[in-house]
Amino acid sequence: MSKTLLLTALGLGAALCAQAGDIHGKVTCKGVRDSADAVVYVAAIPGKTFAAPAAHAKMDQKNLVFIPHVMAVLAGTTVDYLNSDAVLHNVFSPDACCDKFNLGTWPQGQSKSYTFKKECAATLLCKVHPEMEGFVVTSPTPYFAVTKADGSFTIPNVPDGAYTVKVWHPKCKPSQKAVTVAGATAAAFEIAK
Ligand SMILES: [Cu+2]
């Protein structure tokens, strides 16, 4: 690479870095034990589409629990559901945004898959074990995060711009707000049951 090319590349790199930042902050879900497992994501951006990831996401069923309890994925992502228990498990969803899919039942060590095509907060249930519940939130953009136990989140590398940012939580009502990203940007959300 010539010196000029290298400098151009470095310059471009610096310019690109300067035009994005993270969205970080806290979700407070009033009236619930903690604000873990809220999903914060940038809503669909007009005129922008994102390629579906080739890699599958994985959700385990172990000791009669969906692990993780809440997962966020980009639209087009295939999620593999592994059964790690010595009993049969099933996965189905009552939600229309994921075609009310039902994957049947399967034994330990095997997995079945479903591809989440569009924005959706899907409840996952198991017909064999009514106490089992998990969630997959499908974001239309690759800019999303799941909150930690203290409600904090960081969505990395969001290009500078004006967005609608949405928040979803298993027990609180969903909400959204306008957020203008210019480098590292703070955003806080207060939601309630
Ligand atoms: Cu089950």
pLDDT at 158 over 90: yes
CA of 126 to the centre of ligand 1 (A): 5
Q: How many CB atoms lie within 10 A of CB 133?
A: 14
> What does the chain come to in residues?
193
Which is higher by pLDDT, 16 or 19?
19
Q: What spacing in Å lies between the alpha carbon of 77 and ligand 1's midpoint?
A: 23
Question: Tokens representing 79?
Answer: 């999620």
- Give pLDDT, residue 1: 46
Distance in angstroms (rounded) separating the CA atoms of residues 116 and 127:
20
User: The tokens of 187 are what?
Assistant: 């955003």
What are the residues whose beta carbon lies below 5 Å from ligand 1 (ion)? 89, 126, 128-129
Is the confidence at residue 26, as pLDDT, over 50? yes
pTM of the complete model: 0.89
Does 10 have pLDDT greater than 70? no
132 CA distance to ligand 1 middle (Å): 6
Burial class (CB in 10 A: 0-12, 13-18, 19+), 6: exposed
Q: For a pLDDT cut of 70, what percent of the chain falls above it?
A: 91
Rounded CA gap, 75 and 122, in Å?
12
Task: Out of 7-11, 29-33, 69-73, 144-148, pick the least confident.
Answer: 7-11
pLDDT, average across residues 81-100: 98
Distance CA 151, CA 190 (A): 10
For residues 39-45, average pLDDT: 98
Q: What is the pLDDT of residues 56-71, one digit of tens each?
A: 999 999 999 999 999 9
